[in-house]
Every structure is written in C-alpha cells, then in structure tokens.
Amino acid sequence: MLHGFAAGGITGIVEASPYEPRAVGDGADDYPRVVARAVEVLLRAGVSGPYALAIAPDGWTRIVESAERGGHLLLHHLRDILGGPVVWAPGCSGGVVVSMRGGDFVFECGEDISVGYHDHDATVARLYLEESFSFRINSPDAAVALTA
C-alpha cells in the first residue's frame, strides 16, 4: 500500500509521510546521497532501522545496472546504507525508504480469498472473487518518499 487506494479510503505510506519527498535525478549517481539523507531523516526522528528501499522499475534498472567508482555495485552500497533490502516495486511511483523495525505499517487480511457464483447462461457461468483486507499506518513518520 505504498500509494494507497483512494476509492477504498486507504491512505498510502507515501501520502501519509510527514517529510518532504527527496528528489532523485535521472542518473544512478544520486541514489547513495538521497537514500543516505532519507535514512538520516528517519534517524533524527527517532525511527530505528534496519531500513528498506522500495523502488519503481525504472529506478531498479538504473540501480542494478550501475557500479560506482572502484567497481562496487550500487545495489550493494545501497544495502549497506539501509541495513536492509532494495526491493523492485512495480506499483510504486519513484520510491520510498521505510523502517523495517516492525509495527509501523499493518496489512490485515480479513478472510481467505473466496469464489462466489454470480449467474450463468447456456454457455457461460460467471463467478467472482472476494477478499477483505485493511491497511493501517501506525507511524507515518517511518517512511520517506523519493521522487523521480
């Protein structure tokens, strides 16, 4: 629930964050500086780590294709800064650095997925899928958004 679901009344992690989003440039060189500053914002707010970076596909590609001066892979450098993973997030716009300390963001699944009968005609039976869930943000200050 990085960007929420407005039609369902669910606020996303990015929208709930009280911090100004950090801009990442077009190249991969900006990522270590921007991610380190996002981690610093969380540390100053008393939000402990480890941290993770959820990143949009275009940012992911830039990160995994890049090596820094000296040949150290950018992906490994970011993991060192975060103390946690860098995750490919196809539903994400830009990225978000989040704390992994636990309890800040809660996804609750109300029931297993159910199949129901809708109707039928001579050639087709129409079924539907149903599932209930909610998403709760307990600590909106545990995330910093990154913009492209």
Domains contained in the chain, CATH given: 6-105+139-147 (3.30.2320.10)
Select the more confidently predicted residue: 70 or 147: 147
Q: How far is CA 119 from the centre of its chain?
A: 38
Q: How many CB atoms lie within 10 A of CB 51?
A: 24
Round to whole Å and give the CA distance between 16 and 76.
29
126-145 per-position pLDDT tens digit? 999 888 877 889 999 999 99
Kindly give the residue spans of alpha helices, DSSP state H, lying in 52-112.
Answer: 57-64, 74-82
What torsion do the CA atoms of 99, 105, 109, 113 make, to the nearest 10 degrees?
Answer: -60
Round to whole Å and give the CA distance between 144 and 10.
18
64-109 per-position pLDDT tens digit? 888 766 667 889 999 999 999 999 999 888 999 999 999 999 888 7
Residue 36 identity (one-letter amino acid): A
Select the more confidently predicted residue: 16 or 71: 16
The mean pLDDT of 46-69, rounded to a whole number, is 89
Q: Rounded to whole angstroms, what are the CA distances from 139 to 16, 63, 97?
A: 9, 28, 14
Q: Phi first, then psi: what are they for 12, rounded to 5°?
A: -85, 165
Supply the pTM of this predicted model.
Answer: 0.83
